[in-house]
Amino acid sequence: MPKKKDFIALTDYDKETLIQLVKRGIELKSGAVPRVEPGKALALIFTKASTRTNVSFQRAIQKLGGYPIYLGADSLQLSRGETIGDTAKTLSGYVDAIMIRTYSHKDVLELAKNATVPVINGLTDLLHPCQALGDVMSIVEKKGYQFDKIKLAFIGDGNNVCNSLINAAGLFGFTMSIACPAGYKPKPAILDPMVKKNPRITIVEDPKEAVKDAEAIYTDVWVSMGDEAQAAERKKNFMKYQVNSELLKHAKSDVMVMHCLPAKRGEEITDEVIDGKHSYVFEQAENRMHIQEAILEYLLTNN
């Protein structure tokens, strides 16, 4: 019996498959007819607050002719001590796929290990693969598929979004320059293998150096969920890492600005940039829905 397919990390797939998913996301965005048999059910487990992941996945399965089942943290027996393994086995008898957005990456791995239906990582403290693949789709829409000619500058915290973008850079082959303060670099377990695969992934401390010749500038909040106790210290350390009009002057004249949202306006990004002519932020947010349509279609027709 073939191994069950999940979507836990971009590195679970090869470049060719990921490109096909990006192409399919663009096709579905343009109105292509879904290839999924109608009536599929997707369980959505949320132990972490969400706007975009929640709505985009609900709409994605609906657009494929299926329906979502929302499961908040308080509505699950997980909150009363049921194991993730038992939850996975039970839900596998009710639904066709499971999406989970949670804190611990180990929880997603445990869910996937015990489920007999596809499991999708909607976000963990380590990775955010659906976001990153949607980001690649957004870059392709603006810059095309010549990844070896694309440079992405990531400004800020080496967090879960940054980790998945590093995986994307390693797999797709685009240049990625990451500007972050000392102490906030991406995890070596993520960074080192991708640098070996693609030496054009680099870490610098100066944001101006990072954005030089960049086609895309990406940022995220300085204080992620779970880091609130460090808020004051983080804001102090990241003061020089704001994406503003002055920073954009050091990038290419047609640079696109990206943010996974929600944004803390006036901190990591200014109003004039997020609302300005270079911003692709809200198109990028919409693309989460379309790439997740493609991911769901792939998993529901290949398991």
pLDDT of the chain, 303 residues: tens digit per residue: 678 999 999 999 999 999 999 999 999 999 999 999 999 999 999 999 899 999 999 999 999 999 999 999 887 777 567 899 999 999 999 999 999 999 999 999 999 999 999 999 999 999 999 999 999 999 999 999 999 999 999 999 999 999 999 999 999 999 999 999 999 999 999 999 999 999 999 999 999 999 999 999 999 999 877 778 888 999 999 999 999 999 999 999 999 999 999 999 999 999 999 999 999 999 999 999 999 999 999 999 999
d(CA 243, CA 188): 25
pTM (whole model) above 0.85: yes
Query: What residue spans define the domains of the chain?
Result: 10-128+288-301, 131-284
| Backbone φ and ψ of 172, nearest 5° | -85, -25
Per the document, the length of the chain is: 303
Catalytic site positions: 101, 128, 131, 220, 260, 288
Burial class (CB in 10 A: 0-12, 13-18, 19+), 173: middle
Are 10-128+288-301 and 131-284 the same fold in CATH?
yes
- The CATH number, out of the four listed (3.90.45.10, 3.20.20.70, 3.40.50.620, 3.40.50.1370), of the domain defined by the range 10-128+288-301: 3.40.50.1370
DSSP class per residue in 234-277 = HHHHTGGG-B-HHHHTTS-TT-EEEE-S---BTTTB-HHHHTST
Compute the chain's Rg from CA coordinates.
19
Contact call for residues 127 and 192 (beta carbons, < 8 A): no
The strand pairing partners of 204, in sequence order, are 179
Which residue(s) pair with 218 in the sheet?
A: 154, 258
Distance from C-alpha of 39 to C-alpha of 61, rounded to nearest angstrom: 9
Question: May I ask the CATH class of domain 131-284?
Answer: alpha beta
DSSP alpha helices (H): ranges in the chain? 15-29, 52-63, 84-92, 105-114, 129-143, 160-172, 188-197, 207-211, 231-237, 245-248, 271-274, 281-301
Give the DSSP letter of residue 103: S
Separation of alpha carbons 98 and 61, rounded Å: 11
- What lies within 8 Å, CB to CB, of 188 at 6+ separation is none
- Angle between helices 188-197 and 160-172 in degrees, nearest 10: 20
